[in-house]
Amino acid sequence: MDTKEALYTFGTGENFHIQHYFGLHKEVQDGQEGYIFRVWAPNAEEVHVIGDFSSWKDAPVKMTKNEAGVWEVFTSLPKEGQLYKYLVKRQGGQVVEKMDPVALYLEDRPGTGAYVKTIAEKKWKDSLWMGRRKRFGFKQRPVNIYEVHAGSWKRTDSGQPYTFAQLKDELIPYLVKMNYTHVEFMPIMAHPLGMSWGYQLMGYFAFEHSYGTPEEFQDFVEACHLNNIGVIVDWVPGHFTQNDDALAYFDGTPTYEYQDHHRAHNYRWGALNFDLGKTQVQSFLISSALFWIEQYHIDGIRVDAVSNMLYRDYDDGPWSPNQFGGNRNIEGYNFLRRLNGIIKYRHPDVMMVAEESTASTPITRSIDQDGLGFDYKWNMGWMNDILKFYEEDPVYRQYDFNLVTFSFMYAFDENFILPFSHDEVVHGKKSMMHKMWGDRYNQFAGLRNLYTYQICHPGKKLLFMGSEFGQFLEWKYDHQLEWGNLDEADGLNLKMQDFTSYLNQFYKDNKALWLMDDSYEGLEIIDADNTAQSVLSFIRKNDKGDMLVCVFNMTPVERREFTIGVPLAGIYEEVLNTEMEEHGGVWKEHNPQTRTQSGLWKDYQNTLTFTLPALGASIWKIKRRLKNKK
């Protein structure tokens, strides 16, 4: 695309690689090597480039504006590795220093200078992974995600976050050991304040400096792929930081944000909302998403705060109805459909995930069926219900049993991911282990039960770091995980970690848990009405007729001679019991292999009788089928 076409399509919202035009680029003009700088600031009175090469403000390099409001200049002064910014004289005369909106790499916080930097084209070695991804996709594959905040998984002795070079050496072997299929990172784009966890961005193309270099992240993704692990990143196209040296009111007028003051300001989060109807903003954001997919080979994007882009009244501040009198953010709705349409056309094997908490809009329905076209939606309702239930004293669970069964009524209304995310282990909500009822032993028993229920319930899976070994303290963004928990004398954290690894492998090994994950063909409820004993039983199936019988005892009462109905006669074996001693429980041996008995139980002609562990889950598989007795 030549510069004229790049500029034109940026204005029409059809330039999806604006980083090839904007920012800085090496060029030779009139036989002289140098860099050309371009920045969009249509209403600025003046723009200069300043940096190490100009003694900053002492000798600013003047830029000129073209007919589309883009300022540019060619200069031979900069050298690779130097820092630069834009000095913008805003409409009205105020002069501010601004970061480059399409910078690839910024200096460490709190600075916002961008490096004069080109990322060398990488010779990727992950072609086998990329080929398999294109061939098999992810819908009928196991997806079990380990959610990570890169700045606090582990820290150095001096308290600095690990870089991705260090994470490559330590996190990837851990992911392999724990048998996860994917890792998902909270935003790794440049952000001015660690306290935001990355959700108030300033650099939509810039890699966060405190996490290392762009090249190190490329190497990390490649190493993940070589170890059969997919990489997902969080991305925030709805709102951005209101810091004055970033995108906010770039030229003194609403540039990236809405013209309307209330629509521009996100009062709940202290941020600014993108004007998603502005064509230049669409070019900017879609280019950002494609940049991370193509530059870093990532396997998925989780779009944060989708509700904020869909509803004009989602925020806490004043709002006005749309032209039809409703609360729909029409620009946001259309942008999300366009975003997914473009990405799925170019990269159909990349996973698009929505973090969205309402039920008013079909999120994962296809675009041609009036949906948004996402592949998955976080199931926030399931997460809220199930955590409320497991936090409850078992004495009262019989009265709230619908909290664990209601999700079966809508399990396939959308394509869901079942998340136990970072949001559930902060701000006084307590860690996953600390949420559980009872003493320390029962808390771990409840946690094993809960994670097994998540693995067996239809939907892809996500668990936030530290939860896999039952960290007791809440997550802190500026501290590493409580790895010392694994040295506790009773060994329960270590056994919890081993159990999670075992459970994750069990999930991968059993196609019944993921092959038909999006329809009732893969699910059969045995009994969701046993509220008195608080026992839930159901079957997961694959396309070959293989099945797992999953039984969950939600009370700390062992139930001997417990009977359920099953559809097939046979000899069954218990393949998972959460109360085995090696997992942290007290059982030394599994239930023995058990032959079904002929007899009517609800609509079933066969029954299976066994001992159901207290506060435990028991999963059974047919070892040998027998003929049903007439």
The pairing of beta strand 416-420 with beta strand 376-378: parallel
Q: Which residue has the tokens 């969701």?
A: 528
Q: Which residue has the tokens 């270099």?
A: 213
The span from the CA of 246 to the CA of 102, in Å, is 11
The pairing of beta strand 230-235 with beta strand 203-207: unpaired
The span from the CA of 472 to the CA of 165, in Å, is 28
The span from the CA of 342 to the CA of 286, in Å, is 8
The span from the CA of 369 to the CA of 351, in Å, is 19
Tell me whether residue 299 is one of the annotated catalytic residues: no
Q: What angle do CA 230, 235, 237 make, to 5 degrees?
A: 150
Q: What angle do CA 623, 624, 628 make, to 5 degrees?
A: 130
Q: Which residue has the tokens 């993108």?
A: 274
Residue from 72, 184, 355, 482 carrying the catalytic annotation: 355
Residue from 304, 315, 468, 579 carrying the catalytic annotation: 304
The span from the CA of 100 to the CA of 179, in Å, is 40
Tell me whether residue 108 is one of the annotated catalytic residues: no
Helix (H) or strand (E) holding 11: helix 3-12
Choose among 357, 333, 452: nearest CA to 414. Answer: 357
Task: Count the Cβ atoms, other than its own, within 10 Å of residue 126.
Answer: 16
Buried b (16+ CB within 10 A) or exposed e, 312-349: bebbeeebeeeeeeeebbebbbebbbbbbbbbbeebeb
Choose among 89, 99, 94: nearest CA to 63. Answer: 89
Contact present, 302 and 375 (Cβ < 8 Å): no
Tokens in use for 614?
């207290």
Choose among 615, 611, 618: nearest CA to 556. Answer: 615
Tell the burial category of 500 from Cβ atoms under 10 Å away from its Cβ (0-12, 13-18, 19+).
Answer: buried
Contact present, 255 and 200 (Cβ < 8 Å): no
Active-site amino acid positions = 304, 355
